[in-house]
Amino acid sequence: MEIVERHKVKAQDPEVRSHNFDEVSLGFDDETALLEAQRCINCKNPQCVQGCPVNINIPGFIAKLKEKDKDGALSIINESSLLPAICGRVCPQERQCEERCIRKLKLGGSVAIGALERYVGDYGLTKGTKDIVKPQKNGKRVAVVGSGPSGLACAADCAKAGFDVTIFEAFHKAGGVLTYGIPEFRLPKDKVVKKEIEKLNALGVTFKLNTIVGKTITFDELEEEFDAIFIGSGAGLPMFMNIPGENLNGVSSANEFLTRSNLMGAYKEDAITPIYCGKKVAVIGAGNVAMDAARTAKRIGGGEVYIIYRRSREEMPARAEEIEHAEEEGIKLVLLTNPVEMLGDKQVTALKCVKMALGEPDASGRRRPEPIEGSEFEIEVDQVIVALGTSPNPIIRNSVGNMFEFSKKGTIVVNEETNMTTHEGIYAGGDAVTGAATVILAMGAGRKAAKAIIEKLSK
Ligand code: FAD
Ligand code: SF4
């Protein structure tokens, strides 16, 4: 078989983009998308589909692209995914569908499935809401708690089935992490996220913003008013290191930093909400959240930014593209290094770290990092951003009493088939159930719960 190299996705020049918030990746144009689609050999047993968490018919949509039938490609993707313009941008494809693509090892690299999905998703967005017909209401009502990908997906499917859906969102803007977490330069809000939300408006979904379920309105009140409830409240509570000095000025969680920047628009010059950004910034962690925080700090502060990670590059959990883009933008990776103390009087001035070596694999299967005795050293910093992961916010757990079950980690316990909690009629999905995970898994969980809700309420 002919070796045809994978086509590269164009991106903004690193020197230019590290000073702006415009989208970094420019996506495929028509010609490149067609050439890339032609690389897919339409395998008889397509492993890429097995690698996709929602089993998108990948060779099917790519075959439509080869025929220049974008509508056909879109409708095939929409059978499994409601958010292709978003997932095409943020899914870790290199560990999912593209990892399994037969072309990966010897045939010029895996097909750029994610970039093709984005291409089709962006085409879908250009169609706007003109083809959406508001479904006839069937008289039953569904409440959705949280407007992240799980809530949006559940709401969309329930609304299409004729249910009267209301989404309750704590923040003043809808979208969950898509709006408050992932920065503009990776996921544009007006061009992409808002347009997905407009589709829900067109389906007749009502959004009640600034409403914290468990505080502003109780679950008992929701149960009285609605026939089913879906909880997609995410995992927005940041974890800290619990080391000395973590309460110094200049230290914050990545969640707070990114929320101020994205949701409150603090990165804009005319922003009313301020954001502190130092000239020497250490970001602790190496997942997508850490990359987003580091690249945001680089854009706002313009100084030196370090990613501090206790394992090696191989174990970094962030998407490969984000790590590559961060390095191109001048972010320095300080690997096999663990902070042990944050130093300073009132303001943080340095991070005391210890060098690490990798030992035997731990429960996660990754080699356990162990401190090297006597290897302590200091890094001068004026800001530290902690990006070590998140867990579900306890507001819901504290407000429902024994209404339904939670795990020891604070996640909601659900039936795997239906995503129903231990309380009849209340469903849950996304990060609130799995702990911090991915957009595609959250979307898939929202759809699974919607299917169960529709089946139950249609009886
Ligand atoms: P969320 O998106 O967290 O949405 C939950 C919503 O519920 C929020 O809007 C919250 O305000 C609201 N809420 C919470 N409690 C209540 C309440 N009591 N009442 C009303 N509303 C409530 N995943 C990827 O696949 N690729 C990436 O590149 C990626 N990058 C990420 C970068 C960052 C900075 C972060 C934080 C996460 C990233 N993720 C990424 C993870 C992904 O975004 C999440 O897994 C996904 O958004 C989870 O969706 P969800 O619907 O479960 O919850
Ligand atoms: Fe196409 Fe690769 Fe999937 Fe085969 S594995 S169908 S080549 S995308």
- Residues composing the chain: 459
Side-chain-side CA neighbours of residue 373 (13 Å): 0
User: Which neighbouring-strand residues pair with 165?
Assistant: 142
Number of the ligand closest to the Cα of 147: 1
Distance, CA of 178 to CA of 364 (rounded, Å): 27
Calculate how far, in angstroms, residue 397's C-alpha sits from the geometric centre of ligand 1.
17
Q: How far is CA 443 from the centre of its chain?
A: 10
| Radius of gyration of the chain measured on its C-alpha atoms | 23
Tell me, in angstroms, the distance from the centre of ligand 2 to residue 58's CA: 7
Rounded to the nearest whole angstrom, what is the distance from the C-alpha of residue 116 to the centroid of ligand 2? 12
pLDDT tens for each residue of the chain, 459 residues long: 677 789 999 999 999 999 999 999 999 999 999 999 999 999 999 999 999 999 999 999 999 999 999 999 999 999 999 899 999 999 999 999 999 999 987 788 999 999 999 999 999 999 989 888 899 999 999 999 999 999 999 999 999 999 999 999 999 999 999 999 999 999 999 999 999 999 999 999 999 999 999 999 999 999 999 999 999 999 999 999 999 999 999 999 999 999 999 988 888 888 888 888 999 999 999 999 999 999 999 999 889 999 999 999 999 999 998 999 999 999 999 999 999 999 999 999 999 999 999 988 888 787 889 999 999 999 999 999 999 999 999 999 999 989 999 999 999 999 999 999 999 999 999 999 999 999 999 999 999 999 999 999 998
Distance separating alpha carbons of residues 343 and 200, to the nearest angstrom: 48
Atom from ligand 1 closest to the CA of residue 87: 25
Q: Give me the torsion for CA of 317, 322, 324, 326, rounded to 10°.
A: -110
Nearest ligand for residue 113 CA: 2
Q: Which atom of ligand 2 is nearest to the CA of 100?
A: 5
pLDDT tens per residue across span 200-243 = 999 999 999 999 999 999 999 999 999 999 999 999 999 999 99
Phi/psi-derived region of residue 265, left when phi > 0, alpha when psi is between -120 and 50, beta in every other case: left
Instruction: Provide the token pair at 291.
Output: 């990359």
- Which of the ligands is closest to the CA of residue 429? 1
Nearest to 385 by CA among 331, 442, 444, 422: 331
Q: Which token pair is 185?
A: 């330069």
- Which of 1, 38, 39, 42 to mutate for ligand 2's pocket (most ligand atoms within 8 Å of CB)? 42
Checking DSSP bridges between strand 228-231 and strand 426-428, what pairing results, if any? parallel
- Sequence-distant (6+) residues with CB within 8 A of 426 are 219, 223, 228, 229, 231, 403, 404, 420
Residue 416 neighbours by CB under 8 Å, 6+ apart: none
Asked if residue 73 has its Cβ within 6 Å of ligand 2, the reply is: no
Closest residue by Cα to atom 1, ligand 2, is 40
Residues 134, 135, 136, 140: is their CA dihedral positive or negative?
Answer: negative
Q: How far is the CA of 318 from the centre of ligand 2 (A)?
A: 24
321, 188, 289, 151 alpha-carbon torsion, rounded to 10°: -120
Distance from C-alpha of 235 to C-alpha of 431, rounded to nearest angstrom: 5
Tens-place pLDDT, residues 363-414:
878 788 999 999 999 999 999 999 999 999 999 999 998 999 999 999 999 9
Angle between helices 58-66 and 70-80 (to 10 degrees): 170
- Annotate 306-341 with b (16+ C-beta within 10 A) or e (fewer): bbbbbbbeebbbbbebbbebbeebebebbbbbbbeb
Are 265 and 280 spatial neighbours (Cβ–Cβ below 8 Å)? no
Strand partners, 213: 217
